[in-house]
Amino acid sequence: MADVDREQWLHMYEQMAKIRAFEEQVNELYTSAKMPGLAHLYIGEEAVAVGVCEALRRDDYITSTHRGHGHCLAKGAVLDKMFCELLGKAAGYCRGKGGSMHIADQDTGNLGANAIVGGSAAIATGAAFSSKRLGNGRVAICFFGEGALGQGVLYESMNMAQLWKLPVVYVCENNLYNEYTHHSESTAGSMKARAEAFGILAVEVNGQNVGEVHEAAQQLIARARRGDGPAFLLCHTYRYHGHHVGDISRAYYRSKDEEQEWKTNRDPLQSLKDWLTANGMADAGIFEQIERSVADEVSVAVNYALNAPFPAPEEVSQHVFA
């Protein structure tokens, strides 16, 4: 595994545990009708966001997807502002105007979650263009699901990124399903070869193994920062829940056995726990401690958000223009 010390491993575990606890709380808020709109849960995919973001500087850029809570948290977002945004409260990251699918935070380099599949491919590429032009050494990460492989703008962006050697890493989270359709029904040929056709270095990893994701991300990000151009990181992962929280009857597109197999045998948190324990770097007590403290943090944050005020009516017409 990657050259990471014990403290960093535990930090990565904590980040993954935080995303999971946050998402479980979101599920509860949604099913108890406390949260408006839609909720697309990231549970099961935590190792991708954390493995990648752990290799970034705070001022590096990310763009995210409609399943973006994990990316935001992994890049440094704080729980109370996240919950406030999801509940449409004024203290949210976007003053309640973006919601779950549009969280952005300039302070952590988060250029925004995007509800158009593939919608941020060009934006991330543009951020990389700025970084190169301004010479500030920043790298842009473009997170997207395998469903975005059907969007032409992704390939237009990759073409320009490779022509102009832009510091951008396209991180494809292949969670197998384009909403409710298996990728084999939507995506012809090889996913990796799509990037390779542009001469872009493409690497494929087990997205349930945070160490593997992190090691590859470190290399690709360092390479981009050096000026060696874009890369494509294909992460094989799985979303435990449906496309969104309301997607409960899933039998027509995937089996319970398949879901059980991933949850039981390929869970990213459990895998890291097992590996750290087997290597004598941690024991059950440490994990329990982390989980307890994360649960407390989540509970304080959600209570804060539930009691926080909504935006004042006059805010509705603010921020149309800069």
For residues 310 and 271, give the distance between their C-alpha atoms in angstroms, rounded to a whole number: 40
Interface region with other proteins, contact rule CB under 8 A, candidates 93-101, 228-236, 242-250, 265-273: 93-101
Interface region with other proteins, contact rule CB under 8 A, candidates 32-40, 126-134, 190-198, 222-230: 126-134
> 7-46 mask for other proteins (x: CB under 8 A)?
----------------------------------------
What is the footprint of other proteins within residues 142-171 (CB under 8 A)? 152-153, 156-157, 159-160, 163
* Cα within 13 Å of Cα(151), Cβ side: 18
Per rule CB under 8 A, is residue 225 in the interface with other proteins? no
For residues 174 and 183, give the distance between their C-alpha atoms in angstroms, rounded to a whole number: 8
Interface region with other proteins, contact rule CB under 8 A, candidates 3-11, 194-202, 244-252, 313-321: 313-321
The type of residue at 87 is L
Query: CB 248 → other proteins: shortest distance, Å?
Result: 29
Q: In this complex, which beta carbon is closest to other proteins, that of residue 112 or of residue 268?
A: 112
Per rule CB under 8 A, is residue 313 in the interface with other proteins? no
The type of residue at 143 is F
Helix (H) or strand (E) holding 147: none
Given the structure tokens 């001022």, which residue do they identify?
Answer: 59
> 259 and 64 in contact (C-beta within 8 Å)?
no
Interface region with other proteins, contact rule CB under 8 A, candidates 31-39, 104-112, 202-210, 269-277: 104-112
Q: In this complex, which beta carbon is closest to other proteins, that of residue 270 or of residue 311?
A: 311
Helix (H) or strand (E) holding 64: strand 61-64
In the chain, alpha helices (H): 6-31, 46-53, 69-74, 79-86, 121-134, 152-163, 191-196, 210-226, 256-265, 268-278, 284-307
Which two three-digit tokens encode residue 19? 């995303």
* Number of residues that make up the chain: 322
CB atoms within 10 A of CB 80: 20
Q: In this complex, which beta carbon is closest to other proteins, that of residue 110 or of residue 271?
A: 110
Per rule CB under 8 A, is residue 125 in the interface with other proteins? yes
What residues form DSSP beta bridges with 172? 144, 234
Give how many residues touch other proteins by CB under 8 A.
Answer: 45
Binds other proteins (CB under 8 A): choice among 52, 127, 216, 235: 127
Q: In this complex, which beta carbon is closest to other proteins, that of residue 9 or of residue 129?
A: 129
Using CB under 8 A as the criterion, which residues of the chain lie in contact with other proteins when the complex forms?
A: 61, 63, 92-98, 102, 104-106, 111-112, 114, 116, 119-131, 133-134, 140, 152-153, 156-157, 159-160, 163, 318-322
